[in-house]
Amino acid sequence: MRFEIDDLIRSDIASLKPYIVKDVPYKIKMDANENPYNIPENIKDVIAKEIYNHHFNRYPDPSAFELRQALSSQLNVDTNKLVIGNGSDELISYIISAFGGNKTGVIFPTPTFSIYGIFADVWGTESIGVPLSKDFELKQDEIISKMDSVDKSIVFISHPNNPTGNCFSNQGIMDIIEHESKSIIVLDEAYYEFSGNTFLPLLDKYENLVILRTFSKAYGLAGLRVGYMIANESITKQIMKVKMVYNINSLSQKIALILLNHKDQMSGYINQILRERDRLINGIDKIDGIKQFHSDANFILFRTNTNADELFSAFLENGILIRNLNEKGLLENCLRVTVGKPEENDAFLTILESQ
């Protein structure tokens, strides 16, 4: 061969680094904002029956119509306003691939969910991060200024924001939504079930508004990757042009549908997580040298007045995996813990108190 494979790669891709999740041994996992509870046994029985009767030899429904129909009924939106994705990640990629490109900026506050910037780079679209205030509040005027600096833009707002955990002020977000510019505004409501704060009722008023949600968090389906987009048909019809044909496997569609049909039971687990979040907040408050930040999600961001790397290592030595976010800037000496089961939260607090 007269050439190197590296010579064939797009120059903008060549400089990227892959998103790698390190394999770290642990006894208690509290790092990834997952639901700590597995699917209840009675629901597993329903899923088992579905697996037994499932036609694995057939391609899945490319439109995920049954799942969209169920979501349509629960959310009171038309089925044509729904697109199902292989997790919200895939839908974020579709949005940027459809509306990004030359002369478009992907704008987002920082720190936030890193996938927005990653997919902007993958699709050759300029990524523009706008730092939050020291209190992790949205600087909407600066975001609007960035919107005005490009021909077109896609604005991503994680609501509540990951990793800070807070919902930004509704007025600040409304200022961005109502600003006159050629922009798609994406509200990523992955943690909606924990915050209860949504912009979904505004969908009919603002044609350029997109809402993202997921089954990975509150519904405990992180291992199956099911997310969904709610947007006006003028947007969803464009997304369908770039969507992979069979992007959601048939079993994931069925299991997500089963969980929707057991929504009341799953709500009990959500309420338990919220109670444990409050208990964890109260426990952290009593520990000297730790500052925690308000959370509307299923995780808590906190800062230590010592060395975050050493504290992270202390947790690992005791078998507890949390997320080390320590870096210069707004997240210096910050770590993030996912709300776990009561015994997991007790173990976390015991280690934190001992340091």
DSSP string, 188-255: E-TTHHHH----GGGTTT-TTEEEEEESSSTT--TTT--EEEEE-HHHHHHHHHHS-TT-S-HHHHHH
138 lies in the same domain as 248: yes
- What per-residue confidence (pLDDT) applies to 192? 98
Tell me how crowded residue 346 is: count the other CB atoms within 10 A of its CB. Answer: 13
Q: What is the CATH number of the domain that holds 289?
A: 3.90.1150.10
**Contact between 105 and 149 (Cβ < 8 Å):** yes
The domain total for the chain is: 2
In a domain, 49, yes or no: no
- What per-residue confidence (pLDDT) applies to 1? 66
Q: How far apart, in whole angstroms, are the C-alpha atoms of residue 345 and residue 353? A: 12
In a domain, 48, yes or no: no
- What per-residue confidence (pLDDT) applies to 236? 98
65 lies in the same domain as 20: no
103 lies in the same domain as 195: yes
Nearest to 249 by CA among 86, 119, 34, 35: 86
Positive/negative CA dihedral, 73, 76, 81, 83: negative
- What per-residue confidence (pLDDT) applies to 232? 98
148 lies in the same domain as 231: yes
What average pLDDT values come out for the chain (355 residues) when binned by 10 residues?
85 87 92 96 97 96 97 97 98 98 95 97 96 97 97 98 98 97 98 97 97 96 97 98 97 97 94 97 96 97 96 97 97 98 98 92
Q: How far apart, in whole angstroms, are the C-alpha atoms of residue 215 and residue 226? A: 6
63 lies in the same domain as 198: yes
- What per-residue confidence (pLDDT) applies to 47? 97
248 lies in the same domain as 271: no
Contacts of 55 (CB under 8 A, 6+ apart): 250
10 lies in the same domain as 131: no
Q: Tokens for 244, please give them.
A: 């992979």
| Domain span at 186 | 54-262
Among residues 208, 243, 262, the one where a domain terminates is 262
254 lies in the same domain as 291: no
Q: How far apart, in whole angstroms, are the C-alpha atoms of residue 193 and residue 198? A: 9
Over its C-alpha atoms, the chain yields an Rg (Å, rounded) of 21
249 lies in the same domain as 339: no
